Structure 1
């Protein structure tokens, strides 16, 4: 997808938290299995951290300039919905009022 290439334009780091076994994290697991390699190939300098922990709700965090962060929930979403939420994080530009 066209949004994958400019991830580093706004994002400084992408963290994805998920459970290895829960049904609520299935869409997130599918997204990682199918999309991680392509996104990482298009953004080799962007840290993409995958954190697995038993029983946690799936979510993603975007870190931007000056340490600003945003979180989006990924629990109970399909692979396509997870992709849309990650895209939303990538396109976000936190305002200076959020410092």
Structure 2
């Protein structure tokens, strides 16, 4: 899990979109509840935006240098799969810097 401390080096912003009550967003809600504090502690200057809106499909968005963005749909994913998707977005950011 060492990659978690490198998020702010490879991303400019992290956004999580979800619905407050839909079953499709339950894993995304659990991910936020269980991981936000750790992510923010390891990356205090990284903007981590949680956007809740009724009926919204759960998504994870990463913004990189020069305004480039990548997104992942989270519906049907487990917490572990969401963590893996975030790790992949961090790797993309590292590749863009190379």
The separation in 2 between residues aligned to 1:50 and 1:91, in whole angstroms, is 21
Indicate yes or no: 2:74 matched with 1:74.
yes
Give the whole-Å Cα distance in 1 for the aligned partners of 2:70 and 2:80.
Answer: 20
Which runs of 5 or more structure 1 residues have no equivalent in the other structure?
Answer: none
- Scaled by the length of structure 1, the TM-score of the pair is 0.91
- Structure with the bigger percentage of helix: 2
- Cα deviation for residue 90 of structure 1 reads 1.4
Aligned partners of 1:17 and 1:57 also within 8 Å:
yes
Alpha-carbon shift at residue 6 of structure 1 (Å) = 0.3
Would you say how many aligned residue pairs link Structure 1 and Structure 2?
96
Give the root-mean-square deviation of aligned CA atoms.
1.4
> Following TM superposition, by how much is the alpha carbon of 1:3 offset from its aligned partner in structure 2, in angstroms?
1.1
Superposition deviation, residue 76 in structure 1: 1.6
Q: State the TM-score, normalized to the length of structure 2.
A: 0.92
| Aligned 1:1-99 pairs, distance under 5 A | 1-93=1-93, 95=96
